[in-house]
């Protein structure tokens, strides 16, 4: 019992949300205390489960008054520890999962309003049921939540054609640190009424406010697609092939993924039944897809012709087109299982980088050469959304190495790779965010003026530092 009969923070939170709105049992805490890569292990005070925006507002008002840190958490599928509480036992994990309503769909305006706790796949399905398309697509779509997608400015495999979460968002509803609700769920494409505040909260990883709902852009549903698995001599030819396909198809390329032979070997080793549709001799492959909202569009023919021209130019050495939906899914199955296979193979280091696309082949060549001479402990598995200049320049521990050998090199390998990324005009965080894992990188590589403006914004919007402290910026 607190002195003088005063209620503890837990009792006050329970009074706000009701007994089913605050969880303190071991299994509930276990689920939120660890990130999906099991790299961060925290200890939350409790899990708060608001039912609506008003509940979120009341929780934040209380936590702000009591100076209790709040860690917003969506599907907990992030890679940078942004949604994991610290080990103090004082932080409240704010789960948005009960805010999971599709508030409205407006097919004529090509927009929909959804709450933060909606699972991405449910948002896609709701759009499809209205004969519209919500294009954000990524491996975790069956469990990640739209609030997390917004807070990390998620990317995925359709960015080339449709953009990242920033480009897909028309308006936001956000609860500020003091509990005020900034409600701007506009469905407008044109709105120049002052500063564009929504962009402050997208990609802020819950450090500036808690996103509770969003107005999202929709598109005509794709009704025709053509998918090819293509062998290419190297990243240089892959980049040229992309340019060629964009022109030849009338810009209908929606995905363009680079896959090295070693990634296919890992998938074949760890995922039963997964086999490359092409002979494994080629060092590199591309998985590309054209889509169109017109069912009668002859995309297969167009893709076949374009690949034939690319073959004559030496950009392609072999290619196979998916003949039906099952083959298409098999091709994507190979790509989507690369991260999972990397995990099954053993310890790995992730580098989520982006490079201006014309400099990407040189980066791959320079960074691979550096690894070859300096890193015996691991091997490179470099794949990703090459159409967006985004590579997952990951390493896996080599078999037979003493346990922990690659992990011990984490910091120096990361710095060397990120230095090369900077030299080529790129970014050390393309689509996975900063969280806890890349704070030092942001400190090191960000422009000092940019960093100082970020700190100013943080102080202004969260003067008591209760919103996801210890994430993105170096402030506790
Ligand atoms: C992917 O594109 O598969 C993920 O973003 C990459 C990763 O897990 O490193
Ligand atoms: Zn990715």
CATH code of the domain in which 369 resides: 3.30.70.2740
Residue 464 placed within a domain? no
Of 187, 220, 253, which one is at a domain's C-terminal end?
220
Q: Which of 185, 220, 255 is the last residue of a domain?
A: 220
Please say which residue of 60, 95, 130 terminates a domain.
95
| Stretch 32-57: mean pLDDT | 97
Q: Kindly state whether residues 361 and 412 are assigned to the same domain.
A: yes
Q: Express each pLDDT in 328-360 by its tens digit.
A: 999 999 999 999 999 999 999 999 999 999 999
Return the pLDDT at 6.
87
Residue span of the structural domain in which 184 resides: 102-220
**Which distant-in-sequence residues (6+ apart) come within 8 Å of 378 by Cβ?**
348, 349, 371, 395, 396, 397, 398, 401, 406, 409, 413
Task: Mark whether 237 and 212 lie in a shared domain.
Answer: no
Please give the C-alpha separations between residue 301 and each of 62, 223, 251, 323, in angstroms, as whole numbers: 61, 16, 15, 12
Shared-domain flag, residues 46 and 18? yes
196 with 284, same domain: the answer is no
Q: How far is the CA of 407 from the centre of ligand 1 (A)?
A: 19
214, 199: one domain: yes
Per-residue model confidence (pLDDT) at position 280: 78
**Tokens encoding 375:** 């890193």
Average pLDDT value for the chain: 97
Q: What is the mean pLDDT of residues 252-281?
A: 95
Range of weakest confidence among 222-226, 280-284, 341-345, 409-413: 280-284
Q: Are 443 and 451 in contact (CB under 8 A)?
A: yes
Query: Which residues have a Cβ under 8 Å from the Cβ of 17 and sit 6 or more positions away?
Result: 48, 49, 50, 51, 55, 59
- Within this chain, do residues 69 and 26 fall inside the same structural domain, yes or no? yes
Atom of ligand 1 nearest to the CA of 139: 3
- 437 assigned to some structural domain: no
Q: Do 183 and 260 reside in the same domain of the chain?
A: no
Ligand 1 centroid–CA 351 distance in Å is 10
What is the phi/psi pair of residue 72, to 5°? -70, 140
pLDDT bracket for residue 279 (50, 70, 90):
confident
Q: What was the pLDDT predicted at 475?
A: 85
Collapsed DSSP state (helix, strand, coil) of residue 210: strand
Q: Using a 6 Å CB cutoff, which residues line ligand 1?
A: 139, 338-339, 350, 384, 392, 394
Tell me what the mean pLDDT of segment 191-213 comes to. 97
Asked if pLDDT for residue 5 goes beyond 70, the answer is no
Is 452 inside any structural domain? no
Cα of 257 vs centre of ligand 2, distance in Å, is: 10
Which pLDDT value is given to residue 1? 46
Helix (H, G, I), strand (E, B) or coil at 467: strand
How far does the centroid of ligand 1 lie from the alpha carbon of residue 392, in Å? 6
Helix axes 9-17, 53-66, angle to 10 degrees: 160
Residue nearest to atom 4 of ligand 1 (CA): 339
Q: Does residue 465 lie within any of the structural domains?
A: no
Question: In this structure, what token pair is assigned to residue 466?
Answer: 């209760």
Q: Collapsing DSSP states into helix, strand and coil, what is residue 385? A: strand
Q: Is residue 455 part of a domain?
A: no
Residue 476 within any structural domain of the chain: no
Mind listing the pLDDT tens digit for each residue in 100-131? 999 999 999 999 999 999 999 999 999 999 99
Ligand 2 centre from 56 Cα, in Å? 31
Check pLDDT > 50 for residue 278: yes
Q: Give the Cα separation of 127 and 72 in Å (integer).
A: 26
Do 205 and 232 belong together in one domain? no
Q: Are strands 91-95 and 102-106 parallel, antiparallel or unpaired?
A: unpaired
User: 298 and 379: one domain?
Assistant: no
Q: What is the pLDDT of residues 118-169, one digit of tens each?
A: 999 999 999 999 999 999 999 999 999 999 999 999 999 999 999 999 999 9
Q: Are strands 253-260 and 318-321 parallel, antiparallel or unpaired?
A: unpaired
Q: Whose CA is nearest to atom 7 of ligand 1?
A: 339
Residue 441 lies in a domain: no
C-alpha dist (Å) from residue 119 to 126, 339, 340 = 11, 21, 20
Average pLDDT on 179-183 reads: 98
pLDDT tens-place string over residues 235-266:
999 999 999 999 999 999 999 999 999 999 99
Number of helical (H) and strand (E) elements in the chain, helices listed first: 16, 19
> Residue 476: its pLDDT value, please?
65
| pLDDT at res. 422 | 98
Average pLDDT score over residue span 68-97: 98
* Ligand 1 centroid to residue 352 C-alpha, Å: 8
Q: What is the CATH number of the domain that holds 156?
A: 3.30.465.10
3-state secondary structure of 103: strand
Say if residue 255 is in the same domain as residue 364. Answer: no
Q: Residue 434: pLDDT above 80?
A: yes
Mutate to test the pocket of ligand 1, among 139, 271, 332 (most ligand atoms within 8 A of CB): 139
The arithmetic mean of pLDDT across residues 429-458, rounded, is 97
CATH code for the domain in which residue 30 is found: 3.30.43.10
> pLDDT-based confidence at 3, cuts 50/70/90?
low
Label residue 68 exposed, middle or buried (CB < 10 Å: 0-12, 13-18, 19+).
buried
Residue having the nearest C-alpha atom to atom 5 of ligand 1: 156
pLDDT at 4: 52
Question: What is the DSSP secondary-structure string of 330-372?
Answer: HHHHHHHTHHHHHHHH--EE--EEE--GGGHHHHHHHHHHHHH
Three-state secondary structure call for residue 172: strand
Domain count for the chain: 4
Q: What is the DSSP letter of 119?
A: B
Same domain, yes or no, for 171 and 188? yes
Find the CATH number of the domain harbouring 319. 3.30.70.2190
Q: Is residue 131 part of a domain?
A: yes
DSSP H helices in 187-324: 198-201, 235-248, 261-270, 299-312
Same domain, 352 and 424: yes
Tell me which residue of 358, 462, 473 sits closest to 64, measured CA to CA.
462
Q: What's the start-to-end Cα distance of the chain, in Å?
A: 29
For 281, other C-beta atoms within 10 Å of its C-beta total 9
Residue 336: predicted pLDDT: 96
């Amino acid at each position: 019992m607190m002195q003088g009969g005063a209620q503890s923070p837990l009792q006050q939170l329970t009074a706000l949300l009701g007994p089913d709105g605050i969880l303190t049992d071991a299994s509930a805490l276990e689920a939120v205390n660890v990130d999906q890569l099991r790299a961060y292990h925290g200890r939350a005070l409790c899990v708060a489960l608001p039912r609506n925006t008003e509940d979120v507002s009341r929780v934040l008002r209380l936590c702000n008054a009591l100076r209790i840190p709040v860690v917003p958490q969506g599907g907990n599928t992030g890679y940078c520890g942004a949604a994991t509480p610290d080990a103090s036992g004082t932080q409240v994990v704010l789960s948005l999962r009960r805010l999971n309503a599709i508030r409205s769909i407006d097919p004529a305006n090509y927009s929909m309003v959804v709450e933060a706790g909606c699972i991405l796949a449910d948002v896609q399905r709701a759009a499809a049921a209205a004969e519209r398309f919500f294009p954000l697509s990524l491996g975790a779509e069956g469990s990640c939540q739209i609030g997390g997608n917004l807070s990390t400015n998620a990317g995925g495999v359709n960015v080339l054609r449709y953009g990242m979460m920033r480009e897909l968002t028309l308006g936001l509803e956000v609860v500020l640190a003091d509990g005020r609700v900034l409600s701007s769920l506009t469905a407008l494409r044109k709105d120049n009424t002052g500063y564009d505040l929504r962009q402050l909260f997208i990609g802020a990883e819950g450090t500036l406010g808690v996103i509770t709902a969003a107005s999202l852009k929709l598109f005509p549903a794709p009704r025709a697609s053509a998918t090819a698995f293509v062998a290419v001599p190297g990243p240089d030819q892959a980049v040229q092939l992309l340019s060629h396909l964009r022109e030849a198809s009338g810009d209908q390329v929606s995905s363009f993924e680079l896959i090295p032979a070693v990634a296919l070997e890992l998938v074949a080793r760890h995922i039963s039944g997964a086999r490359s549709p092409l002979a494994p001799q080629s060092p590199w492959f591309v998985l590309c897809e054209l889509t169109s909202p017109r069912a009668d569009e002859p995309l297969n023919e167009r893709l076949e012709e374009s690949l034939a021209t690319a073959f004559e130019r030496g950009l392609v050495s072999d290619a196979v087109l998916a003949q039906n939906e099952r083959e298409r899914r098999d091709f994507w199955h190979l790509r989507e299982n690369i991260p999972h296979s990397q995990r099954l193979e053993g310890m790995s280091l992730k580098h989520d980088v982006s490079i201006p696309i014309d400099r990407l082949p040189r980066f791959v060549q320079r960074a691979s050469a550096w690894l070859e001479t300096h890193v015996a402990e691991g091997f490179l598995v470099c794949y990703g959304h090459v159409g967006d200049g985004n590579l997952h320049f990951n390493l896996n521990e080599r078999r037979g190495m003493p346990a922990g050998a690659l992990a011990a090199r984490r910091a120096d390998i990361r710095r060397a790779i990120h230095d090369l990324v900077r030299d080529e005009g790129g970014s050390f965080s393309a689509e996975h965010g900063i969280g806890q894992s890349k704070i030092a990188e942001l400190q090191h590589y960000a422009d000092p003026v940019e960093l100082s403006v970020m700190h100013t914004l943080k102080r202004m919007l969260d003067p008591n530092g209760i919103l996801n402290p210890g994430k993105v910026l170096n402030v506790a």
